[in-house]
Amino acid sequence: MTQLNQHKTLKSMKTRAFVIVASLVLSIPCLGTAGNAYVNTYWEEYGNRPVEVNQATNGRTQALSFTAYENDRLVAELDGGVGEISLPVSDSMAQSLSLKDSSMSQIRRLIAGGDYDEALTLLRPLAYPLVKFHGIPESFTQMHAPIRNLLNVLIETERLSEAEDVLNRIELHKVDPEYSQLAIRLLNTYLGQENYEAAVRLTKKIPVQGDHRVNIRPIVDAADLLRAAGKFEAVIPLYQQLIDIVPKSAEENIRMWLAYSLVLAGRTEEATKMIEEIEEPASNKRTYSLYQLLIGSSEHGQEQYEAALDRLTRGYVRAQTSFGWVPEMLYLIGDCYERVNSAGPARSAWTELTILYPESPWARRAESSLASLPEPNSN
């Protein structure tokens, strides 16, 4: 055997060994779905496949099988399995590559026509092998487009467990924020379905630092919905994470929401310590009414209903109807009245809540509380 043939044989053996090891590693179940028993059979079928590409250089076309992306380099098996090469990624390289037998044009037509099932039939074998290359720069648009189209269609057709599984295989903090926007779309779908357990799982996955600071607002909105749904223990770490990340102008709000959630979770000692560190805002500041909600809810938790009612009413008078916390403030006002046996004012507060904020989860709670009130005296 010549030295050249021996070198090719060794390279071929090395490539096959690499593929076997990669297959074993990639077939390990994803740990990101803890608490979710979903098994993605499409990943098992397609995820470990190499990605077949053509590279055009100097007027020649070379067939490559990409098997891995590591240390900013693409690992490829040469056509015929005669060896492997490691290629540094660059914009010029991105321009030279094209996926073999890409069906994206047909997939886009199917999606535009609403034929999602047929689109998925073509997308899955194309997109799943690409997932392990998600860290590649955005200039490699051909490798990102199928993944994002897959996620969009999965969410659109409410194949949510499969979409979550795919997102769990992507390091969102290392990729373009467009992937995070898909995660947020999935998060909002979970919240709309009141699948709060899944929503909490996903909030822990979505990055909020650096280039991903744009995700802060959706996470705050999700935290508000989770808090309204009574998921206090779940929302507390979200607010704790946000305190050091949000702009200085928003930090006061987040601290109050964290203290408020601690109150509602019954973690009185922690809440009291935080409340003592928060200075009461001036009455002309937006956060004044939020502070009254915080103190009023603390007094409500201590069954000091008259004092709580005074605080909450003061805050409500100073609030604008657009403030996000007004619905729960109205709900607590009604609850305080009910607990001091003032059914009439309680009914008024809860009725006002259902009229002004019919889409709020607090309105649903108010409707339930209204149903439990005694019928008003007709005399």
Q: In whole angstroms, what is the distance from residue 258 CA to residue 179 CA?
A: 28
User: Confidence band (pLDDT; 50, 70, 90) for 158?
Assistant: very high
Distance separating alpha carbons of residues 172 and 207, to the nearest angstrom: 7
More confident of the two residues 12 and 223 = 223
pLDDT digits (tens, 9 = 90+) for 204-217: 899 988 889 899 88
Map the chain to HEC letters: CCHHHHHHHHHHHHHHHHHHHHHHHHCCCCHHHCCCCCCCHHHHHHCCCCEEEEEEECCEEEEEEEEEEECCEEEEEECCCCCEEEEECCHHHHHHEEECCCCHHHHHHHHHCCCHHHHHHHHHHHHHHHHCCCCCCCCCHHHHHHHHHHHHHHHHCCCHHHHHHHHHCCCHHHCCHHHHHHHHHHHHHHHHCCCHHHHHHHHCCCCCCHHHHHHHHHHHHHHHHHHHCCCHHHHHHHHHHHHCCCCHHHHHHHHHHHHHHHHHCCCHHHHHHHHHHCCCCCCCCCHHHHHHHHHHHHHHHCCCHHHHHHHHHHHHHHCCCCCCCHHHHHHHHHHHHHHCCCHHHHHHHHHHHHHHCCCCHHHHHHHHHHHHCCCCCCC
- pTM, to two decimals: 0.77
Q: Measured between alpha carbons, how far is residue 275 from residues 15, 51, 293 in Å? A: 61, 56, 12
From residue 175, give the alpha-carbon distance in Å to each of 1, 43, 139, 206. Answer: 46, 20, 12, 11
- Find the mean pLDDT for residues 64-78: 88
Cα–Cα distances in angstroms (integers) from residue 50 to residues 37, 88, 99, 133, in the given order: 27, 18, 11, 10
pLDDT tens-digit profile of 111-120? Answer: 999 999 999 9
Give the chain's mean pLDDT: 86
Residues in the chain, how many? 379
Task: Round to whole Å and give the CA distance between 312 and 309.
Answer: 5
Lowest mean pLDDT among 154-163, 242-251, 308-317: 242-251
Mean pLDDT of 291-310: 94
5 alpha-carbon distance from chain centroid:
52
* Average pLDDT estimate for 15-33: 38
Mean pLDDT value of segment 91-103 = 86
For 153, 177, 186, the CA distances from 111, given in Å and listed in that order, are 8, 23, 18
pLDDT of residue 81: 62
Of all residues in the chain, the percent with pLDDT exceeding 90 is 61
Q: Place 252 in a pLDDT band, splitting at 50, 70 and 90.
A: confident
Q: Which of 42, 17, 19 is nearest to 30 (CA)?
A: 42
Confidence of residue 12 (pLDDT cuts 50, 70, 90): very low
Using pLDDT thresholds of 50, 70 and 90, give the confidence band for residue 250: confident
- The pLDDT assigned to 106 comes to 95
pLDDT greater at residue 374 or residue 195 = 195
Could you tell me if 362 and 350 are in contact, meaning their C-beta atoms sit under 8 angstroms apart?
no
